[in-house]
Amino acid sequence: MAAIHDIPDVILSHIFASISDTRTRNSLSLVSRKFMLLERATRLSLTLRGNAKDLFMIPTCFRSVTHLDLSLLSPWGHSLLSSSHLPDPQLLAHRLRVAFPAVTSLTVYARSPSTIQMLVQQWPGLKRVKLVRWHRRLTQWPIGADFVCLLEQCENLCWLDLSSLYYWTEDLPPVLQACPKVSASLVHLNLLTTSFTEGFKSQDIKEITTACPNLKSFLVACNFDPRYIGFVGDETLLAVANNCPKLTLLHLVETSSLADVRGDPDNEGFTSEDAMITRGTLVEFFSRLPFLQELVLDVCRNVRYTGLALEMLNSKCKDLRVLKLGQFHGVCLAIESPLDGIALCSGLQELSIKNSGDLTDMGLIAIGRGCCKLSRFEVQGCKRITEKGLRTMACLLRNTLVEVKISCCKNLDAAASLRAVEPICDRIQWLHIDCVWDGLGETGNSDSEQVGHSFGLNQVGESSNLFSFSETGNEYDQDMSRKKCKYSDDFELSSDSYIMETNAVNGFWCKKWDKLRYLSLWIGVAELLSPLPMAGLEDCPELEEIRIKVEGDCRGRPKPYERAFGLSYLARYPRLSKMQLDCGETIGYALTAPSGQMDLSLWERFYLNGIGNLRLNELDYWPPQDRDVNQRSLSLPSAGLLAECRELRKLFIHGTAHEHFMMFLTRIPNLRDVQLREDYYPAPESDMSTEMRADSCSRFEAALNSRHILD
């Protein structure tokens, strides 16, 4: 009988190359020497961790690696090739080149320009570079110091990512203009840097696009506010289209939206100022970019009457698959049965609508009818949409929609959001909702009022016939439910087409979310997570990863009436192994709090209580912060509670910590990868306490690595 060893090496190489999971590849390499050689030969990407001064730990068997990530070497945030930590920085650079001779793609923490200079000398043939720095750019550095050596020595450079680099906007344009050959070869340029307060000015964007005419991917943070000098408007949009006609991916994003802070659900969606972007300019802009496949315009200022311009996307940008719009109004009016606006973009696979003040249920339904290939849909800050419209849209897109984000919509709290996506609960794989529990007292559906799963949409464009808009019910028109949809032959939603296991718990239907693997939650400070199962997420057998973002100001808040936030309730999900707990936007007192209030250490105890009941393998944790002293630090209670996660293998703490607090973590038996990252702006330059000092990190790593780990 033939065995796997009988398969030719060429075929085995293709099989090995298709495996992306690192632990699976490591396991395969232990099977036999042949498998080890095949695995090493097909490993093209590698991320190094560990202490940079341990030269003997640099692996020498991955000579086929083309993408090398050095941004996570410890001590994290310190200069990689600094003489203060290494006796001979050039020796480390040389050893890296010898170990990885085939590198063409590099990611590195560039604390200083000297780090970039030494590394590009080792790999002058670099094609792709990502620079990372969360610490401030020093004022004494010359303009463009980070980029001069990179563009002068890497003549083959075609891909540059500066989205995680703290620099000045005036650093880049002069260097691009001074190196015309390399600039002309760039096809990807990412300038979505979250450290910017104002972003690139209009003139900067014109200079960059003029210097890089062959760009295919361009992502830039800018300012659309007409009250500021250098705002982006009609002229800039047309300049981008004229200078870079080959663009397939374009992101123009207002800097304020990069913070990803939840807005006010009561906001009507209209700002006090209008962006200087007209409908005629949008039409011309789309006409000049025929190769667009992905477009993001997050303006944060009113762009009105955009429906006609968006209709042109379908004819002018026929390859468009991803579209994200922020503060666009009139995207789909849905006044009559004929489709209009964005609903005519039938080729879209991903759509995000943010802060659209006039988007209604009828607009959602029209989008569901017209954009029949949507696999991902995001809606944020749209006050006029309701559960009925979103639910109907989910029914229309049942065959394709697998990722949904619902955020900051006044009429869509947690329970309403889950009821709205109920028609695809057996198919959805990725979901974000806001944990607003206002609707838990409302039944929504009851035994006597079930929403029919088989209803037609022959007259879906006529609002008077679509819903029975009674004051008390959520029912769809019973006459409509007996008709068959004429828009799609595949639209059959009878009770036999999918089976949902339901149990009535406090008036809600608890569905089984068969394929849900990723869950993202937003929750306000001092709110509890415990109502989540009651809202409808009781049974998620395949849920593997969850992200929880806690946001708000703790100062002035009373002490919570419960001892724990509710993480222990997540133990009902049997496959949950990865968690991101982001309390970075939770503001409080890091030092002594005023009388009658809790400091951040007590809030951390509240949020982490019960985390030891979960079987987590990976955890990313952002501690709460005190902005007045620029401190985001792990406290003693949180260190003790994290030490109760007995199955953790990876722990990334996005903040600082005292060395003796970190020693609590050595009690976790299989913990192998721990890192402190000050990846928030501005990262503290120096700290006279025991926090984040290089020697402290080294001592902790030595204690961690000295333990015997069974696997």
Please state, rounded to an integer, the average pLDDT across all residues of the chain.
Answer: 86
For residue range 541-554, list pLDDT tens digits in order.
999 999 999 999 99
b/e per residue 557-585 (b: at least 16 CB within 10 A): eeebeeebbbbbbbeebeebbbbbbbbbb
In what helix (H) or strand (E) does residue 240 lie, and over which residues does it extend? Answer: helix 234-243
CA gap 478, 476 in Å, rounded: 6
State yes or no: cis peptide before 682, omega within 30 of 0: yes
The CA R_g of the chain, rounded to the nearest whole Å, is 27
In 397-542, which residue ranges form alpha helices assigned H by DSSP? 414-420, 463-466, 532-535
| Amino acid 492: pLDDT | 34
Contact criterion met (CB below 8 Å) for 594 and 556: no
Q: Which tokens is 340 given?
A: 């209009």
Pairing of strands 403-407, 430-434: parallel
**Pairing label, strands 508-509, 504-505:** antiparallel
Residues in the chain predicted with pLDDT less than 70, given as ranges, are: 1-2, 83-86, 439, 441-510, 686-692, 711
Instruction: Record the tokens describing residue 581, joined without a space.
Output: 């707990």
Q: Are strands 294-303 and 249-254 parallel, antiparallel or unpaired?
A: parallel
With tokens 């959602």, the residue in question is: 364
User: What distance in Å separates the CA atoms of residue 676 and residue 653, rounded to the nearest whole number?
Assistant: 5
Which among 459, 429, 433 is positioned nearest to 545, based on CA atoms? 429
State whether residue 678 is helix, strand or coil: coil
Return the closest-CA partner of residue 409 out of 548, 519, 537, 267. 267
pLDDT tens, 42-62? 999 999 988 887 878 899 999
pTM value is 0.87
Q: What is the pLDDT of residues 459-518, one digit of tens each?
A: 443 433 443 333 333 333 334 333 333 333 343 333 333 333 333 433 444 479 999 999
